[in-house]
């Protein structure tokens, strides 16, 4: 699963797409900064979905 392109979407509208090494820390940081929540890497991976073939890797979108 390490080379797969994944997408994580938050209920607030924030999303990020990329490889596990990028998506997991970005999602943990988002939860901590915007929602005062701590997630484990396992929790992030449980909510990740495989990115669509035409969905490019992207920087996380900040939603304030």
pLDDT at site 52: 82
pLDDT band, very low/low/confident/very high, at 2 (cuts 50, 70, 90): low
pLDDT at site 64: 45
Partners of residue 6 on adjacent β-strands: 18, 50
First vs last C-alpha separation in the chain: 30
pLDDT at site 7: 97
pLDDT tens readout for residues 8-63: 999 999 999 999 999 999 999 999 999 999 999 999 999 999 998 766 666 565 54
Residues in contact with 57: Cβ distance below 8 Å, sequence separation at least 6, in sequence order = 5, 17, 18, 19, 22, 51
When comparing pLDDT for 13 and 2, which is higher? 13
The DSSP line for the chain is -TTS-EEEE-TTS-EEEE-HHHHHHHHHHHHHHHH-----HHHHHHH-EEPPTT---BPPPP--
């Amino acid at each position: 699963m390490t080379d797969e392109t994944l997408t994580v979407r938050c209920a607030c509208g924030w999303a990020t797409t990329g490889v596990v090494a990028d998506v997991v820390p970005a999602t943990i940081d988002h939860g901590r900064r915007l929602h005062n929540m701590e997630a484990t890497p396992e929790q992030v991976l449980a909510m990740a979905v495989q990115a669509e073939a035409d969905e490019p890797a992207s920087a996380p979108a900040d939603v304030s």
